[in-house]
Amino acid sequence: MLFAGLGFELGYLLIALLVALTFHEASHALVAYWLGDPTPKKMGRLSLNPFAHLELYGALLILLIGLGWGKPVRIEAENLKPGPKVGMALVAIAGPISNLLLAIVAGIPLRFRWVSLVSDIRIPLDFLPAGYQAMYVGLGPLLQWIVWLSLALAVFNLIPLSPLDGSRLWQILLPTNWYRQFTRYEFFGLFLVMGLILSDRFFGTNILGRVLLPPVAILWRFIIGTTPPFQL
């Protein structure tokens, strides 16, 4: 499980989750707006306010089992200048690309050791019982969570199953009439994705873990230069 043994690091996780999801969904909205669709702006999605992009069940799944999603950005595909198929593919790929860029930016201080990789700032908590009278925080662990979650979201969303972003990349190869028919039923792909997530969680199949961990670990080593401290 992705978030096993968190302890006090739950705070880092929550902040990193908000940052990664916000950049992912805001990037979808921004690219759609650039391509001619005013809908995301009208819906208030051209924002870095995390609460504009949170979807309750997707966020809860990330906290509970390590995988989930943000609030989908409503897009009128017919408004996109390159056309519905190419336009939706460009909007879709913007999410994973934004997460990859975020991981690189957050990883630079870690790569060059400008910050400690461990929590090294002591905060006294004298009002608590003996043995619990201090906690340690630090920027390094937070940045590690941002990098890890951003990479995990990027790779997860590139899986070519609807409604994930990766499905939009191969759909541009479909004839227009097939594409329109496919988009009407793509919601059912959500059940397949959910089935994989729940199978991993409750039956220990680890299908998604085996798919996601190798590319995430490779990207982590490339950006940070160390072995990943987390697991999928």
pLDDT tens-digit map of 3-31 = 444 445 778 888 898 899 999 999 999 99
pLDDT tens digit sequence for 94-145:
999 999 999 999 999 999 999 988 777 777 776 777 766 666 678 999 999 9
- pLDDT single digits (tens) 133-145: 666 678 999 999 9
Question: Please, which residues have CB within 8 angstroms of residue 161's CB and are 6 or more apart in sequence?
Answer: 167, 189, 192, 193
Task: Kindly list the catalytic residues.
Answer: 25
What does the block give as tokens for 166?
A: 């990766």
The size of the chain, in residues, is: 232
pLDDT-derived band at 58, boundaries 50, 70, 90? confident
Every domain of the chain and the residues it spans: 7-224
189/186 Cα distance (integer angstroms): 5
Write down the residue that tokens 């990943």 correspond to.
228
pTM of the full predicted structure?
0.85
